[in-house]
Amino acid sequence: MILIDGKKAAAELREELRKEVIELKDKHNRVPGLTVILIGDLTPSQIYVRNKEKSAKEVGLNSEVVKYPDTVEERVILDKIDELNKEDSVSGILVQLPLPKHIDKKKIIEAIDPAKDVDGFHPMNVGNLSSGYESSVPCTPLGCYLLIKQIEPKLSGKKAVIVGRSNLNGKPMTQLLLKENCTVTITHSKTKDLKAECLEADILVAAVGIPELVKGDWVKKDAIVIDVGINKTDKGIVGDVAFDEVSKKAKALTPVPGGVGPMTIACLLKNTVECFKRSQL
Ligand code: NAD
């Protein structure tokens, strides 16, 4: 069984980006810039944002974090986004989720210029992805896709099953694999026989948020299994896949932690560089 090393793949991607940023600086006399808006003091959000800032600096991007208390008015955030949309030195804007209840997530996502939407959540980017046009792709599914391609470059005709249909993970994952000519089934909490669906998969992606939902006897022999889940349990952080059982059946499997997670931030940096390049055309 191949243990898919997300840390290594992310380090390689960051190194590629670091070199690319040097070339872009030579060519355009400036580097891509990423601005993250952080509202409130939720610990996980603070940790994510700190990691994003550190990684952005490592690859040579301009990185800025703008912080607001969780009492901030929605209008203040919308005005800030408007200012950043117009600011040439900012190539990418990310508003860290979740947001406080009084702030409308949809309004915030739609306020970001689609050309600077490094999360790929703007409806314009969602539409572009599903139409097969160039767009920012949400970072976690993009990371999963790159890991799958490393293991299996030829995906055409493969049967892929996605567990979970969130806008963040399951839906964009489906689009990325459709683009590769996979036959894709997307499953969710109302799916009748999830085990039977999973057993069909050459490529199985679990993005659910239920600890160790996918069992060993749900997985076809030699399937590629990608575990997006991050679940806090009494025995520590576990994924949506029962690792010990599934590792006996799968051809390749991502661990949790150390699989998909590190790729998510590297893909955010990749999206920032891509937004910058498109803005220079
Ligand atoms: P979500 O809650 O938005 O969506 C979960 C999906 O799972 C829904 O579509 C739901 O229909 C489906 N679902 C729920 N119960 C199910 C069941 N019993 N059978 C089949 N499907 C079921 O979650 P999300 O934001 O997509 O996140 C999913 C997991 O991925 C979470 O554990 C989250 O922490 C993790 N995550 C990891 C990363 C990363 O970088 N590795 C990034 C984002 C999210």
Query: Residue 258: what pLDDT?
Result: 97
Q: Are 66 and 49 in contact (CB under 8 A)?
A: no
d(CA 262, CA 222): 24
Q: Enumerate the β-bridge partners of residue 233.
A: 236
Sequence-separated (6 or more) residues with CB below 8 Å from residue 39: 67, 68, 69, 70, 72, 77, 95, 96, 99, 100, 103
- Other beta carbons less than 10 A from residue 74's beta carbon: 15
Name the residues annotated as catalytic.
Answer: 52, 96, 119
Q: DSSP letter at 175?
A: H
Residue 236, class by beta-carbon neighbours within 10 Å (0-12 exposed, 13-18 middle, 19+ buried)? Answer: exposed
Cβ of residue 207 lying under 6 Å from some atom of ligand 1:
yes
Cβ of residue 163 lying under 6 Å from some atom of ligand 1:
yes
Supply the residue whose CA is at minimum distance from atom 6 of ligand 1: 164
Cβ of residue 208 lying under 6 Å from some atom of ligand 1:
yes
How many residues are listed for the chain in this entry?
Answer: 281
Cβ of residue 165 lying under 6 Å from some atom of ligand 1:
yes
Query: Residue 44: what pLDDT?
Result: 87
Supply the residue whose CA is at minimum distance from atom 3 of ligand 1: 166
Residue 281, class by beta-carbon neighbours within 10 Å (0-12 exposed, 13-18 middle, 19+ buried)? Answer: exposed
pTM: 0.97
Query: Residue 42: what pLDDT?
Result: 87
Cα 21–chain centre separation? 21
| 139 CA from centroid of ligand 1 (Å) | 15
Query: Residue 86: what pLDDT?
Result: 98
| 163 CA from centroid of ligand 1 (Å) | 8
Can you list the residues of the chain whose pLDDT is less than 50? none
List of domains in the chain: 29-113 (3.40.50.10860), 139-261 (3.40.50.720)
Q: Which atom of ligand 1 is nearest to the CA of 170?
A: 26
Query: Residue 43: what pLDDT?
Result: 86
Cβ of residue 187 lying under 6 Å from some atom of ligand 1:
yes
Q: Which atom of ligand 1 is nearest to the CA of 263?
A: 40
User: Can you state the percent helix, strand and coil of the chain, rounding each to 5?
Assistant: 45, 15, 35
Cβ of residue 139 lying under 6 Å from some atom of ligand 1:
no
Q: Enumerate the β-bridge partners of residue 186.
A: 162
Q: Are 174 and 158 in contact (CB under 8 A)?
A: no
Supply the residue whose CA is at minimum distance from atom 35 of ligand 1: 229
Query: Residue 107: what pLDDT?
Result: 98
Sequence-separated (6 or more) residues with CB below 8 Å from residue 154: none
